[in-house]
């Protein structure tokens, strides 16, 4: 019967990565997606930029919007300090099902140290509930990688829900391809944000892409 791309990615992880070794899970996905089939993981080039931002911010609270197969979830979770709280939201239940298994294979599900809490459902439904559900006041880091047309509305929603503070960092994937022009326009013209971008390429291709970094200054 037909095996979906997400299932083939999971099989590649289970076949080629070592249980409990997050780096081998990342390597297995990158090898599959560069040698066999393209998939919309953030990839290794942008992934190294993500790693450097996570290491610099050293966040106690992280929100990821758009889990997909859990590739960036594993990258982020493997760099977090033991006390960190990490929530990743995925709308698509099929993606979430694969991500749970990829995160478990990396050993991050079991580790007391970090338990990325994978929440299924629309970000706009979940964002207003996060404070009470997870006992989180504000996020030190938000990684936006979900529907590109929801970047702006979800950022405004996070502001309204008081989930962002002075010093919070937002990192957005795909501001060029597929693109989030309204989001870029809003944050660039807002006095609340100091923004700049990291030049990179669309995962597993040579197409120009940027990761858009936002520091909240007010």
Ligand X SMILES: O=C(NCCNC(=O)c1cc(-c2ccc(F)cc2)cc(O)c1O)c1cc(O)ncn1
Give the pair of three-digit tokens for residue 171.
Answer: 């990192």
Do residues 169 and 88 lie in contact, with contact meaning Cβ atoms separated by under 8 Å? Answer: no
**Interaction pattern, residues 111-150, with Mg ion; x per rule: CB under 5 A:** ----------------------------------x-----
The helix (run of H) or strand (run of E) holding residue 101 is helix 93-105
Q: Which member of 78, 174, 200, 210 binds Mg ion (CB under 5 A)?
A: 174
Q: Which of residues 82-101 bind ligand X (CB under 6 A)?
A: 91-92
Distance CA 152, CA 186 (A): 8
Strands (E) in 40-134, as ranges, are: 61-65, 85-90, 117-120
The DSSP symbol for 129 reads G
Distance CA 63, CA 141 (A): 6
203 as an active site residue: the answer is: yes
The nearest distance, CB 131 to Mg ion, in angstroms, is 26
Q: Which member of 47, 145, 183, 200 binds ligand X (CB under 6 A)?
A: 145
The CA-atom distances, in angstroms, between 45 and each of 41, 48, 208 are: 11, 6, 12
Tokens 């989180």, located at residue:
136
Q: Does 174 sit near ligand X (CB under 6 A)?
A: yes
Q: Which of residues 20-39 bind ligand X (CB under 6 A)?
A: none
If the CB atoms of residues 6 and 84 are measured against ligand X, the closer one turns out to be: 6
Q: Does 75 sit near ligand X (CB under 6 A)?
A: no
Q: Which residues bind ligand X (CB under 6 A)?
A: 40, 66, 68, 91-92, 145-147, 173-174, 177-178, 202-203
Active site residues: 145, 148, 173-174, 203
Q: Which residues bind Mg ion (CB under 5 A)?
A: 145, 173-174
């Amino acid at each position: 019967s037909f095996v979906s791309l997400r299932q083939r990615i999971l099989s590649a992880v289970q076949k080629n990565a070592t249980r409990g070794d997050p780096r081998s899970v990342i390597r297995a996905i990158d090898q599959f997606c560069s040698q066999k089939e393209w998939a919309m993981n953030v990839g290794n080039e942008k992934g190294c930029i993500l790693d450097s931002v996570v290491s610099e911010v050293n966040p106690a609270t992280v929100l990821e919007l758009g889990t997909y197969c859990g590739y960036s979830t594993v990258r982020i979770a493997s760099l977090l300090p033991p006390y960190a709280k990490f929530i990743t939201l995925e709308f698509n239940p099929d993606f979430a099902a694969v991500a749970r298994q990829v995160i478990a294979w990396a050993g991050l599900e079991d580790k007391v140290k970090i338990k990325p809490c994978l929440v299924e459902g629309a970000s706009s439904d979940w964002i207003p509930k996060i404070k009470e559900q997870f006992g989180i006041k504000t996020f030190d880091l938000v990684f936006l990688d979900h529907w590109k047309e929801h970047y702006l509305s979800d950022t405004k929603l996070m502001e309204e829900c008081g989930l962002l503070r002075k010093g919070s960092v937002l990192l957005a994937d795909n501001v060029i391809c597929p693109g989030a022009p309204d989001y870029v326009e809003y944050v660039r013209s807002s006095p609340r944000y100091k923004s700049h971008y990291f030049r990179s390429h669309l995962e597993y291709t040579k197409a120009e892409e940027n990761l858009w970094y936002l520091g909240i200054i007010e």
